[in-house]
Structure 1
Amino acid sequence: MGVTPDYREFTLSLAQVVQTHIDCPLRYLEYREGSARLGLEPGPGHSEELPLDGPVGKPSDMPESPAPVTAPWCVTLLSPAAGLGQLRALLAFFDEQQWQVRSAETLSRNRDCTVIRFQLDARLEFTPARHACLQQAERLGADLVLQPGDTQRPPRLAGFDMDSTLIDAEVIDELAKITGIGEQVSAITEAAMRGELDFRQSFKRRMALLRGFSERRLAEIAPQLPIKEGAQRLLLALRALGCKSAILSGGFTYFAHYLQREKLAVDIVHANELEFADGALTGEVVEPIVDGQRKRELLGEMANEMELELGQVIAVGDGANDIPMLNLGALGIAIHPKPKVRLEAPQAITHFGLDAALYLFGFNDRQLAALLGE
């Protein structure tokens, strides 16, 4: 049963958008060849007719697929509360950077997640341009993701961190809480994830503190691990697209294999082995430790084995030990990242779940619904 939209479509030029002085919720923007179609809702204090110059019509349906990417760069706005004022500020930002908008397509029209992809003609240096986007994103209260235009496609191989990426927990910290040393271990974990401590040394220190932890208790903890928002949907979509996914974790194979078996559509697992004696942890580590460099090496080795170019590979993580693999392939997506990682990762998503990454592959909601049978 259909629902009558509570917004209308206005046809304007981008110059007219920039010159407006009102704000109201923005449902969509479709722009090409100098003309922009905007789905707008009357805001509080406005009369039924929005005071905008331009033709007014009924809302149009989302296209079956977005326009092909032909520009050298894309910037994707992912906003929890998109508005005309936010769009106006973003267009002014592009103008300041001397980035010309070739076209714009709305990939999601959800009220709590409006996603608009801008194709840009620009000569830019990626790192300073990315930092400028991060600063603008903070001002907008949204995510603003810069990527080369040719990376707007599905990957063939995706490497994922596990703790605080696929699950909303640091497993080693959860074990420590049970043994009464939670604060001591979590402080070490946080320092390592911020890049203040060497991961290998911090890992050995934390494992030593867990000596004697019962293997039986591990089996009780595994089903309680909270799955990150959007993780299941993203992994199912990747599998449907024929993309292999791998856990590359400084955590433990014990839990990664449980997630693979019971919860997540993961194809490959590389993580740290736990050593037991008499049904309890020995507190020793089993080499090789999966640290940041090891994650990068493993992802590269898998790509070679699959005969893939690195442009077909992506990585997703949140901590400092993920930075090496995040900078390996076509996209390196930091999800809800630590501050250091947000600055160093090629792409970052802070306001949404893992499945928001699907928009960076060039899909809109109609395509995703068909892909996932939603």
Structure 2
Amino acid sequence: MQIALTLVSPDAEAAAAAVPAITAALAGARARVKEPRPLGPGAVDLLVEGEDARALRRAAEAALAGQAVDVCVQPWAGRRKRLLVADMDSTIIGCECIDELADFAGVKAQVSAITERAMRGELDFEGALRERVAMLKGLPITVLQQAYDERVRLNPGARTLVRTMAANGARCVLVSGGFTYFTSRVAEAAGFHHNRANRLVEEGRSLSGLVEEPILGREAKLAALVQEAADLGIAQSDALAIGDGANDLAMIEAAGLGVAYRAKPIVAAEADAKVDHADLTALLYFQGYTAAEFVTD
């Protein structure tokens, strides 16, 4: 079986230096590495002849232990995905929007603690969201725009990832357990075709402390991936899903390539690949795109 093993690092020299170690490790796993193919700065593709992709991933990760190199091991065929489903908070953007709103309300420490536990899978997501939103009761609606302007930034590589996949015919969907106020703006900034999230209930010119039901959580994210794939007439194996928290796990497991980005341990342990060091363009390299194909405008 032909297997793609992709190495990506923010340090180009580290990625190049990892190739001999990977080659030796895979030889021990009864796999043969063909000629490496540079994809871009710090990114190398290896075509591997082997039988067990999981075993090869374990061997590669062991060989790279302690190095700032991300690795993805998957079948060579079908690497370029036709659907991207991405989480927003701490994935496409570098913050948790609800925590930033809580900062304006003076309750960030309390809300952030609940967010962390929910993302680790220690709390029911829906209940944790209701509890956190209740702490925002009375917050002026004008703070939403202020939080977006001052706190929300796309993570490095996010815009390039989305626009490159879209330019190559993929549908790109932002699916968040956060709020539509932010997903609509982030989706436009990054180039997503569609966004799904929860809606905050307003009371006059302030937040009511409630969120509209039903809440978009773990199962709703999975349902979004399944529906988007069905609408496109493609298999779930043609989808790429990325996220960082426990509420992303179901869609990550269902996708053909599920990626954990700077993720909580429960997610990193189950994802097909992890991005702990590189930026979000790693997902393009994982699909075999070269840097020359990136859409960067």
TM-score (norm 2): 0.93
Matched with 1:14 is none
- What residue number does 2:7 align with? 77
Of 89, 100, 118 in structure 2, the residue corresponding to residue 174 of structure 1 is 100
What is the aligned-residue RMSD (CA, Å)? 1.8
Partner of 1:145: 72
CA contact (8 A) 2:22 2:60 kept: no
1:250 to 139, 153, 177: 177
Q: Deviations over 1:171-220 (max 9, x none)?
A: 00001111111111101111111112121121111111111111111122
Residues 73-128 of structure 1, C-alpha deviations (whole Å, 9 max, x = no match): 111111323276533322221122222213421111x2xxx2111111212163x5
Say whether 1:136 aligns with 2:66: no
Q: Secondary structure at the match of 1:163?
A: helix
1:118 maps to 46
Structure 1 segment 326-337 matched on structure 2, within 5 A: 326-337=252-263
* CA-CA distance at 1:133 after TM superposition: 3.5
Contact 2:118/2:125 (<8 A) preserved: yes
| Mean Cα deviation higher: 276-285 or 179-188 | 276-285
Question: Secondary structure of the equivalent of 1:266?
Answer: coil
What is the identity, as a one-letter code, of the residue corresponding to 1:323?
A: L
**Corresponding residue number in structure 1 for 2:200:** 274
Which residue matches 2:20? 88
Pick the structure with more helix per residue.
2
Compared CA separation, residues 212 and 133, structure 1 to 2 (3 A)? farther
Q: Mark the CA change 1:87 to 1:72 in structure 2 (over 3 Å): closer, same or farther.
A: closer
Distance 2:259 2:108 in 1: 29
Distance 1:125 1:364 in 2: 23
Alignment CA distance shift 1:245-1:354 (3 Å): same
Return the structure number with greater relative CO, CA threshold 8 A, min gap 6.
Answer: 2
TM-score, normalised to structure 1's length?
A: 0.74
* Larger deviation, residues 117-126 vs 322-331: 117-126
CA contact (8 A) 2:120 2:266 kept: yes
8 Å contact 2:53–2:75 — kept in the other structure?
Answer: no
Per the alignment, residue 342 of structure 1 pairs with 268
Q: What's the CA shift string for 1:241-299, capped at 9, x where partnerless?
A: 121111110000011112234x1201111100110111111112211111111101111
Distance 1:179 1:325 in 2: 32
Q: Where do 5+ consecutive residues of structure 1 fail to align? A: 1-70
1:23-82 Cα shifts (integer Å, max 9, x gaps):
xxxxxxxxxxxxxxxxxxxxxxxxxxxxxxxxxxxxxxxxxxxxxxxx531111113232
Paired residues of 1:105 and 1:118 also in contact (CA < 8 A)? yes
1:107 alignment partner in structure 2:
39
SS in 2 for 1:117: strand
Kindly tell me the number of residue pairs found equivalent between the two proteins.
294
What corresponds to 1:241 in structure 2?
168
What is the one-letter code of the residue matched to 1:237? T
- Output the CA distance in 2 between the equivalents of 1:353 and 1:307: 30
8 Å Cα contact 1:133/1:145 also seen in 2: no
Matched, 1:300 2:226: yes
Instruction: Give the SS at the match of 2:192.
Output: coil
1:352 aligned partner: 278
Structure 1 residue 313: Cα displacement: 1.3
DSSP-derived class of the 2:110 partner: helix
User: In the alignment, residue 123 of structure 2 is paired with which amino acid?
Assistant: L
Name stretches of at least 5 consecutive residues in structure 2 with no aligned partner.
Answer: none
State which of 237, 245, 249 in structure 2 corresponds to 1:323: 249
| CA contact 1:131–1:343 (8 Å) conserved in 2 | no
SS in 2 for 1:337: coil
Q: State the structure with more CA Rg.
A: 1
Amino acid at match of 2:263: P
| CA apart distance, 1:317 | 1.0
Q: Which amino acid aligns with 1:245?
A: C
Is the alpha carbon distance of 1:252 and 1:85 closer, same or farther for their aligned partners in structure 2, counting shifts above 3 Å? Answer: closer
Specify the alignment match of 2:125 in structure 1.
199
Partner amino acid for 2:63?
Q
Secondary structure, in 3 states, of the residue corresponding to 2:266?
helix
Question: The residue matched to 1:283 in structure 2 has which SS?
Answer: strand
CA distance in 1, matches of 2:167, 2:208: 41
Percent identity over the alignment is 32
